Amino acid sequence: MDPAAHPDGGVAVVELADAVAVLGRFPALAGVDLTVGRGEIVLLRGPNGAGKTTLLRLCAGLLPLARGTGTVVGCDLRTQREAVRARVGLLGHANGLYGDLTVRENVEFWGATVGATTHEIDASLERMGLAARLADVGVSRLSAGQKRRTALACLVARRAQLWLLDEPHAGLDAAGRDELDLTLRAAVAAGATVMVASHELERAGSLATRIVDVVAGQVQEPSA
Amino acid sequence: MDHAGFIFASYIAAFGGSAGLAWYAIRRGRALGRQLPDEDKPWI
Amino acid sequence: MNDPSPVTGTSGHVATGVWRTARLIAGKDLRIERRSRVIVNQVLPFAALVMVLFAFALDNDDVLLRTAPGLVWLGTIFSLLILVQRSFAVESADGALDALRVAGVNPAGIFLGKSLALAVQLVVLEMLLVALAMVLYQAQLDAMGAVLLVTTIAPATTGLAFVGTLYGGLAAGARGRETLLPLLLFPVVAPVLIGATRATEAAFGAGSAAIDEGWPWVGVLLVFSALFGVGGTLAFGPLIEE
Amino acid sequence: MQSPAGTEAGTEAGTDGRTGNRTTDRHTNGNEDSAHVATTQTPPTASGSAHRAAGSARAGTGTRFTRVLGVLTIAALAVLALFALVLSPPDVVQGESVRILYAHVGTVWVAYLAFIVTAVASGAYLWKRTSSLTWDRIAGASAEIGVLFMAITLFTGSLWGRITWGTFWVWDARVTTTAFLFVTYVGYLAVRGLGGTHEQRARRSAVVALLAVLEIPLVHFSVRLWRSVHQDASVAGSTDVKLDDEMLFTLLLGTVAFTMMYVWYVLHRQRVLAMEDALDDKGLDLALAERRNEGLEARDMTEGTTR
């Protein structure tokens, strides 16, 4: 039923030690130490350009590790970036959906990139509350919140074990934000791990199980 | 000289083009060189 | 860290092969077209209009008959530009190309899939243009000519699709892509324009060209198609990688 | 002296944003301006190097080698002009128009040489063991001068063709291929200007350069086949030049002189491109330091209010 659940609760999903990531020559991450366990919802808090997006992209396997060590979903960030990419889902400012296709077709497409079965597709639609009314509606006709949910359903169908969300609340109205929070809680209940970068501190803070400050390319846990 | 116009036009294009390119490279090099420390100029 | 792959478990990710990815992408592109009908409703009429405009500009039945093959392929190449732009507008509208990259989808598969979808659309377009040439310009086609024409269209189409996808992917997301794409694309497709036009001349019997004169050009088209098929499969990854 | 100035810059950035500072950085040209940049915009961490930047007297991209080469090139071009326009005799068949060829052959040789170098340097960049941005810059510098010389070649060639064949343009395979090469490398330079990180630019343009290598023989072959079908490919062959020693010397001199010019340009331009990249990086360093300052101050402030 649930592809993302694995009987290995004790293992860290993200483990970074002194991780440095460079954009051009610019050390956007200047030595990050971070451990995230399964089932956590970690809120990354910090000013613009502190490195939140870069941290998410590093964890998605999109950037090479310039120094330090790191494993994400059990795969080494230096040697197994392809494997990391296939196992995590990054949701940035764009949703990565095809407006001319229906919700179901989008989810089927992204699921098929990892060989998901029809059963899994149905399950992911179900989980995001898209199965009944919205499945056969064209994506271009959805509201912003519904599009976000569809994008998240694609992450489920892709069997993403780690969800990396960059400002997921941006552009959503109040109802859309509530929907998103429910969605994330459901995903975590089903075995996923979530890292969220957000400005909506109150909103995301109530959602998060842990808050981490990102300052000038480094990570600090706020003293309790 | 027959066709003197065409011949001179050819040499003006060839020499003028080369000189223009060289002038551009030197001028740009000086402008940038002033803004950078010598460590960034390994040829010095 | 001690256990290298603990999270994968039994439902480990199936590494989908190049061909499966290609079929998936091509199917997705064609389905989007079937839904949106942008090409049927806009590009095909554009191509037909170009053929009519050629007739206005040349204004002479003999000239039209003789130049019909060239006009067919010129119309194809102009339309190719629009098709390629459409093909990548679909991907970049909501960051799907980025998402494909993030999802670790095989770039060779993306390249082949998008080329395949483009080729299918091009074939439809070319058939329309040939039919129009026969109706509007009185081009003739006998049985042997038809065989030659089909043999020409196959490699010419795949060649155009490969080159179009390759440079379309490069220009996608760049500033000024509308002007950059023709600058990159048109010089490269010149051999296809020359080769396909000569072969089509032979097939139409235009300008007293014999059927035999067409076959060497099919060879040129095959070489072009093969080179850019292989080159594109190898180069597409580095081109779209960040 | 340095440190308070640096803090000031940091505070300014906190309110004003750093893009403004980077733009001023770009626009500075004069000496006093660069000194201004060094003192007011230097963050504490980079103060040492910037101090030297302000005091640097060695501007420009010349070395003793390129200066000697430059003087020799000018001399060679002057001698070329003397021989080509005055000393060498007119051709028996072509008459005076052969003089155009002394400039034409040298530039076309350099243009093709430049594109070969671009292709090889691009390959060297893409090959992991030799990968270095220097190769990318050599490829770019080489393509620039190649495009210019290709344009000169097409111009002089069409003038020569007008005199010899009575027409500015013939659809000869060589001529057509040259024209396509020209357009292709204009496209290559456009791809170099697309933006992104240095590595992005280098990889993209290197792939395009190698694809061009694939394209050119195909264009050449198909044009040749096309003209042979039409049976008039022999225009170029009908006007062979009978070279005496003096003419041969002038031709060689032209080739050597323009090749020297090519080497000189690529050496200089490659350094200019390196400085452009370095300046880009410098801008980023400044931005980073400012940003860190900004971050630290922001944290001090929040901690100050909460405690």
The residue of chain D with its CA nearest to that of C196 is: D222
Is the Cβ of A170 closer than 8 Å to some Cβ of chain D?
A: no
Find all residues with CB under 8 Å of C74, minimum gap 6, and list them. Answer: C50, C54, C193
Distance of alpha carbon D290 from alpha carbon A95, whole angstroms: 32
Does any domain span residue C6? no
Per-residue pLDDT, averaged over D164-172, amounts to 84
Strands A41-45 and A26-37: unpaired
Per-residue pLDDT, averaged over D10-37, amounts to 37
- pLDDT of the residue at D57: 45
Query: CA of B18 to nearest chain D CA: how many angstroms apart?
Result: 8
- pLDDT of the residue at D292: 59
Does any domain span residue A4? no
Per-residue pLDDT, averaged over D231-238, amounts to 44
Per-residue pLDDT, averaged over C26-31, amounts to 94
Per-residue pLDDT, averaged over A49-75, amounts to 86
Residues from chain C that touch A104, judged by Cβ atoms under 8 A, are none
Check residues C15 and C54 and name the one with the higher pLDDT.
C54
Residue C7 pLDDT grade (very low, low, confident, very high; cuts 50, 70, 90): very low
Is the Cβ of D137 closer than 8 Å to some Cβ of chain B?
A: no
- pLDDT of the residue at D269: 95
Is the Cβ of A99 closer than 8 Å to some Cβ of chain D?
A: no
SS3 of residue D123 by DSSP: helix
pLDDT one-digit tens code per residue, D65-111: 989 999 999 999 999 999 888 888 887 777 788 889 889 999 999 99
Which chains does B contact via 3+ CB–CB distances below 8 A? D
Domain coverage including residue C235 = 18-240
pLDDT one-digit tens code per residue, D241-289: 567 788 888 989 999 999 999 999 999 999 999 999 888 777 766 765 6
Lowest mean pLDDT across A71-75, B20-24, B38-42: B38-42
Query: CA of A126 to nearest chain D CA: how many angstroms apart?
Result: 40
Query: Phi and psi of C4, rounded to 5°?
Result: -70, -35
| Pick among A22, A23, A26 to test the D interface (most D CBs inside 10 A) | A26
DSSP structure class, residue A194? E
Find all residues with CB under 8 Å of D9, minimum gap 6, and list them. Answer: D21, D40, D41, D42, D43, D290
CB–CB of A26 and D288 under 8 A?
Answer: yes
Which chains does D contact via 3+ CB–CB distances below 8 A? A, B, C
- Asked if pLDDT for residue A202 goes beyond 80, the answer is no
- pLDDT of the residue at D23: 36
- pLDDT of the residue at D34: 39
Residues from chain B that touch D151, judged by Cβ atoms under 8 A, are 17
- Asked if pLDDT for residue C51 goes beyond 80, the answer is yes
Residues from chain B that touch D97, judged by Cβ atoms under 8 A, are 2-3, 6-7
Lowest mean pLDDT across B26-35, D88-97, D112-121, D128-137: D88-97
- Asked if pLDDT for residue D49 goes beyond 80, the answer is no
pTM: 0.80
Q: What's A181's domain CATH number?
A: 3.40.50.300
The residue of chain D with its CA nearest to that of A25 is: D281
Check residues C177 and C48 and name the one with the higher pLDDT.
C48
- pLDDT of the residue at D58: 59
Query: CA of D223 to nearest chain A CA: how many angstroms apart?
Result: 42
Residues from chain A that touch C11, judged by Cβ atoms under 8 A, are 3, 159
Nearest to C242 among A62, A110, A161 (CB): A62
- Asked if pLDDT for residue A68 goes beyond 70, the answer is yes
Q: Which of A156-160, C5-9, D28-32, D182-186 has the highest mean pLDDT?
A: D182-186
Size of interface C-D (CB pairs under 8 A): 72
Query: CA of C157 to nearest chain D CA: how many angstroms apart?
Result: 17
- Asked if pLDDT for residue C71 goes beyond 50, the answer is yes
Residues from chain C that touch D195, judged by Cβ atoms under 8 A, are 174-175
- Asked if pLDDT for residue A203 goes beyond 80, the answer is no
**Interface residues of chain B, partner chain D, Cβ below 8 Å:** 1-4, 6-7, 9-11, 13-15, 17-18, 21-22, 25-26, 28-41, 43-44
Nearest to D272 among B9, B13, B32 (CB): B32
Q: By percentage, how much of chain C surpasses pLDDT 90?
A: 56
Contact between chain D and chain B (3 or more Cβ pairs less than 8 Å apart)? yes
Does any domain span residue C8? no
Domains identified in chain A, total number: 1
- Asked if pLDDT for residue D26 goes beyond 50, the answer is no
Residue A8 pLDDT grade (very low, low, confident, very high; cuts 50, 70, 90): very low
Domain coverage including residue A146 = 12-220
Residues from chain C that touch D210, judged by Cβ atoms under 8 A, are 231, 235
Query: What is the average pLDDT score of chain A?
Result: 82
CB–CB of C175 and D194 under 8 A?
Answer: yes
- pLDDT of the residue at D117: 96
Cα angle vertex A42, ends A177, A128, to 5°? 40
Per-residue pLDDT, averaged over A50-58, amounts to 88
Does any domain span residue A89? yes
Q: In this structure, what token pair is assigned to residue C215?
A: 């076959």
- pLDDT of the residue at D298: 61
Check residues A73 and D60 and name the one with the higher pLDDT.
A73
DSSP letters, A80-135, are: -HHHHHHHEEEE-SS----TTSBHHHHHHHHHHTTT--HHHHHHHHHHTT-TTTTT
- pLDDT of the residue at D284: 66
Does any domain span residue C31? yes
Does any domain span residue C48? yes
Which chains does A contact via 3+ CB–CB distances below 8 A? C, D
Does any domain span residue A102? yes
- Asked if pLDDT for residue C217 goes beyond 60, the answer is yes
The secondary structure element, H or E, covering residue A156 is helix A144-157
Nearest to D204 among C170, C183, C227 (CB): C170
Count helices and strands (H / E) in chain A: 7, 10
Does any domain span residue C2? no
Nearest to D288 among A27, A46, A215 (CB): A27
- pLDDT of the residue at B1: 66
Q: How far is CA C88 from CA A53, C240, D195, in A?
A: 25, 12, 19
Per-residue pLDDT, averaged over A84-93, amounts to 85
Query: CA of C227 to nearest chain A CA: how many angstroms apart?
Result: 28
- pLDDT of the residue at C6: 35
- pLDDT of the residue at D299: 61
Task: Name the D residues in 143-182 with CB < 8 Å from any C CB.
Answer: 180
Is the Cβ of D220 closer than 8 Å to some Cβ of chain A?
A: no
- pLDDT of the residue at A135: 86
DSSP letters, C37-101, are: -HIIIIIHHHHHHHHHHHHHHH--HHHHHHHHHHHHHHHHHHHHHHHHHHHHHHHHTTTHHHHHH
Query: CA of C70 to nearest chain D CA: how many angstroms apart?
Result: 13
Does any domain span residue C3? no
Query: CA of A74 to nearest chain C CA: how many angstroms apart?
Result: 5
Lowest mean pLDDT across A147-151, A173-177, C168-172, D137-141: A173-177
Contact between chain B and chain A (3 or more Cβ pairs less than 8 Å apart)? no
**Alpha helices, DSSP H only, in chain C?**
18-36, 38, 44-58, 61-92, 96-102, 107-136, 143-171, 177-204, 215-240
- Asked if pLDDT for residue D141 goes beyond 90, the answer is yes
